[in-house]
């Protein structure tokens, strides 16, 4: 079990490693799997939310690699399904990213959870749109009102997915819906940035990249949770008592004396 | 205010500011409550929390919470020759815990009063 401590960052091991080893040696009556899962989750948290100052991390490298991996995985699944089974691919991708979202939630990364959930929500919206209405317009048989209605539905579903998932962030009220719709319009076809994507990328890659960019932008906008008061003392609360003079000396005081 | 600004010492957190501890809120309250009895090391905290609240804190959860509390200045490590370092609650920790417990007490009182109606 002690081997799992190597999953923690070096700075963390220097600070807490010996204590955790001592604790592991003392714990009795725990199931090994339960203990292992708790340590794996703790190690993921130590990497995602480092509390101990350590080596400066390349913050944007994992995010960039993650976006690239998300686009490549989505493209591979969409490509394997073929152009005539896009609704199946969208449903499959929605399920896949939903599983990823739950995994990130368990590991404790809000931004990665939000991103995965948004990708899942956007593919689910695609699945609904493709299965319900857009099949008609893709066949080219639908009259203009149906096409306009389908476009409005697609943009609206993007907004609904965004407002459902980003509502607990600092974006309040109708802002998530507006941001979801605006990004959908900006990355869609017509005169928007979607034209550039269609020009630069292979046809099978356009939709996955569009979805990943849409989700990444919204996850970035909604990455901060709305602040919630925690432990705020009520007005007029008495001031805490000073520690007794016999209390053990804190580590910080000993370090100051040594230097 | 971003957390990195706190643990790099660029800003001093006021005890009345909100703390977003996410899933570590409940373990934080249990650990701070345990430390009210005096300085304790990890195993003593785990045993006390299990006896008082019936909650088993795993080592990963325990040290993730201790690190957060220490970074926020709510607890501090005590010098020890043993590998098992004891921690003790600070003044700021006591103030924050009191506020949290009073809020929980108010919620419990309201809930029980409504159930009695």
pLDDT of B16: 44
Indicate yes or no: CB of B64 within 8 angstroms of CB of A234. no
Which range in A100-114, A138-152, A180-194, B39-53 is most confidently predicted, on average pLDDT?
B39-53
Strand partners, B40: B87
Q: A39 to chain B: which residues are within 8 Å by CB?
A: 58-60
Burial class (CB in 10 A: 0-12, 13-18, 19+), B64: buried
* Chain centroid, CA A232 distance in Å: 29
pLDDT at A146 over 60: yes
pLDDT of B7: 38
Q: A49 to chain B: which residues are within 8 Å by CB?
A: 3
What is the chain B residue with the closest CA to A38? B60
Average pLDDT over residues A172-195: 74
pLDDT of A37: 92
pTM score above 0.80: no
pLDDT at A234 over 70: no
Residues B35 and B93 sit within 8 Å (Cβ to Cβ): yes
Q: How far apart are CA B117 and CA B97, in angstroms?
A: 30
User: Between B19 and B95, where is the model more confident?
Assistant: B95
Average pLDDT over residues A90-103: 86
pLDDT of A248: 64
In which element (H, E) is residue A77 found?
helix A60-81
Residue pLDDT, tens place only, B83-102:
888 999 999 999 999 988 99
Q: How far apart are CA A20 and CA A46, in angstroms?
A: 14
User: Between B80 and A255, where is the model more confident?
Assistant: B80
Scan residues 43-72 of A and list those with Cβ closer than 8 Å to B.
43, 45-46, 49, 51-53
Residue among B43, B88, B98 whose CB faces A23 most closely: B43
pLDDT at A43 over 70: yes
Q: A227 to chain B: which residues are within 8 Å by CB?
A: 18, 20
pLDDT at A142 over 90: no
pLDDT of A133: 60
Q: At what angle do helices A18-26 and B42-53 cross, to 10 degrees?
A: 50
Q: What is the DSSP string of B43-104?
A: HHHHHHHHHHH-----HHHHHHHHHHHHHTTSEEEB--SSSS--EEE-HHHHHHHHHHHHHH
pLDDT at B36 over 80: yes
pLDDT at B3 over 50: no
pLDDT at B10 over 60: no
Residues A231 and B99 sit within 8 Å (Cβ to Cβ): yes
Q: How confident is the model at residue B4 (pLDDT cuts 50, 70, 90)?
A: very low
CA A56, B87, A24, B27 torsion-angle sign:
negative
């Amino acid at each position: 079990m002690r081997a799992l401590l190597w999953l923690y960052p070096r700075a963390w091991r220097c600070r807490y490693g010996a204590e955790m080893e001592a604790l592991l040696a003392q714990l009795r009556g725990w199931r090994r799997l339960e203990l292992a899962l708790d340590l794996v989750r703790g190690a993921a948290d130590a990497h995602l939310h480092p509390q101990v100052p350590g080596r400066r991390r390349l913050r944007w490298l994992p995010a960039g690699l993650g976006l690239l991996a998300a686009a490549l995985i989505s493209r591979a699944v969409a490509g394997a399904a073929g152009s005539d089974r896009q609704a199946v691919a969208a449903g499959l991708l929605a399920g896949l990213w939903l599983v990823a979202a739950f995994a990130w939630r368990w590991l404790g990364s809000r931004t990665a959870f939000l991103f995965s959930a948004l990708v899942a929500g956007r593919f689910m919206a695609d699945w609904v749109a493709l299965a319900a209405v857009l099949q008609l317009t893709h066949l080219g048989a639908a009259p203009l009102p149906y096409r306009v209605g389908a476009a409005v539905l697609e943009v609206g579903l993007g907004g609904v997915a965004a407002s459902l998932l980003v509502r607990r962030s600092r974006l309040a009220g109708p802002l998530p819906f507006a941001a979801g719709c605006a990004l959908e319009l900006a990355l869609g076809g017509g005169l928007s940035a979607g034209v550039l994507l269609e020009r630069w990328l292979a046809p099978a890659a356009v939709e996955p990249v569009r979805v990943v960019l849409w989700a990444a932008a919204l996850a970035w906008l909604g990455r901060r949770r709305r602040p919630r008061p925690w432990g705020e003392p009520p007005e007029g609360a008495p001031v805490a008592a000073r520690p007794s003079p016999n209390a053990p000396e804190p580590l910080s005081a000993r370090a100051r004396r040594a230097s | 205010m971003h957390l990195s600004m706190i643990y790099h010492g660029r800003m001093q957190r006021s005890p009345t500011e909100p703390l977003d501890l996410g899933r570590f809120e409940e373990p934080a309250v249990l650990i701070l409550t345990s430390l009210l009895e005096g300085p304790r090391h990890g195993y003593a905290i785990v045993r006390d929390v299990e006896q008082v609240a019936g909650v088993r804190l795993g080592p990963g959860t325990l040290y993730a919470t201790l690190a957060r509390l220490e970074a926020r200045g709510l607890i501090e490590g005590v010098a020890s020759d043993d590998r098992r370092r004891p921690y003790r609650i600070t003044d700021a920790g006591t103030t924050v815990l009191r506020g949290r417990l009073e809020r929980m007490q108010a919620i419990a009182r309201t809930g029980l009063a409504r159930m009695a109606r």
